Amino acid sequence: MPQESNYWLTTVEMPASLRQQLPESADVAIIGAGFTGLSSALALAKLGVKVVVLESETIGWGASSRNGGMVLTGLKLGVNELISKYGRELTRRMYAASLETIDCVERIVKEENIDCDFARTGHLEVACKQSHFDDYARQAEVIAREFNHQLRIVPRHLLRWDGGRGQRWPQPGTLRCGTGCGRDAGRRGDF
Ligand SMILES: Cc1cc2nc3c(=O)[nH]c(=O)nc-3n(C[C@H](O)[C@H](O)[C@H](O)COP(=O)(O)OP(=O)(O)OC[C@H]3O[C@@H](n4cnc5c(N)ncnc54)[C@H](O)[C@@H]3O)c2cc1C
């Protein structure tokens, strides 16, 4: 009978001894030890703020330990849709923020020496239909013009699928990034 187990949780050792007792007081209480809570706790603790992170399960219990581990550029919606919804200026700022988040992740991984195989590999978005491909090409033009960010459009005949060789998905470092962040937040404050 095949056994099912969580890939991330079975390939990572969870931090053993994080504090169980609540401190008497704290400047900031953060609820949830996912990427959002942990990175906020880390940033605040570095500024000397007394932070407590409250987690009902364990570090990275939620989406932070169950994702693809991809640190991508851009936003969920296409740029043309974003511009028509939010205008050029706000979209420009949101797009710039999406690029900054990659630097932010890289900075935290380096500064905290987190062993999570972080790498800037680029990423490939594959169009399923010609109309999607045409839309990608139009978006790439807008992104280059408006946000000064270059994307490469790869035509079908140059796209070679190697069956995933050389790809690592799901990324094994995902939970190690969370647990590493948790260890560092724990070292610096209450957890
Ligand atoms: C299947 C999947 C794939 C994804 N792939 C990607 C990807 O490749 N790249 C990417 O950038 N993003 C991806 N995401 C999104 C990304 O994982 C999330 O945006 C991110 O992890 C959110 O982090 P978080 O800290 O805000 O929330 P969470 O990681 O969900 O953390 C919330 C924490 O709060 C705790 N909590 C909740 N309520 C309470 C309470 N009342 N008291 C105490 N603790 C509480 C939970 O137990 C949990 O640990 C993916 C998400 C999913 C689900």
Contact criterion met (CB below 8 Å) for 123 and 72: yes
Tokens read off for 135: 């839309």
| Section 122-146 average pLDDT | 92
Amino acid 3: pLDDT: 77
Q: What angle do CA 46, 63, 97 make, to 5 degrees?
A: 55
Q: Which domains does the chain have, with CATH numbers?
A: 1-68+170-191 (3.50.50.60)
Residue nearest to atom 42 of ligand 1 (CA): 56
Contact criterion met (CB below 8 Å) for 69 and 24: no
Tell me the best of 6, 20, 36 to mutate to test the pocket of ligand 1, counting ligand atoms within 8 Å of each CB and taking the most. Answer: 36
Residue 1 to residues 9, 119, 165: CA-CA distances in angstroms? 21, 37, 28
Amino acid 9: pLDDT: 73
pTM: 0.80
* Centre of ligand 1 from the C-alpha of residue 56, in Å: 13
Residue 141: partners with Cβ closer than 8 Å, 6 or more residues away: none
Amino acid 15: pLDDT: 67
* Centre of ligand 1 from the C-alpha of residue 45, in Å: 21
* Centre of ligand 1 from the C-alpha of residue 33, in Å: 9
Closest CA to 131 of 167, 83, 92, 78: 78
33-47, 78-92, 111-125: least confident range: 111-125
Q: Is 15 helix (H, G, I), strand (E, B) or coil?
A: coil
- What mean pLDDT, rounded, does the chain reach? 84
Residues with CB under 6 A from ligand 1: 31-37, 54-57, 61-64, 66-71
Distance CA 92, CA 131 (A): 25
Q: How confident is the model at residue 170 (pLDDT cuts 50, 70, 90)?
A: very low
- Tokens 């169980």, located at residue: 20
Q: How confident is the model at residue 167 (pLDDT cuts 50, 70, 90)?
A: very low
* Centre of ligand 1 from the C-alpha of residue 35, in Å: 7
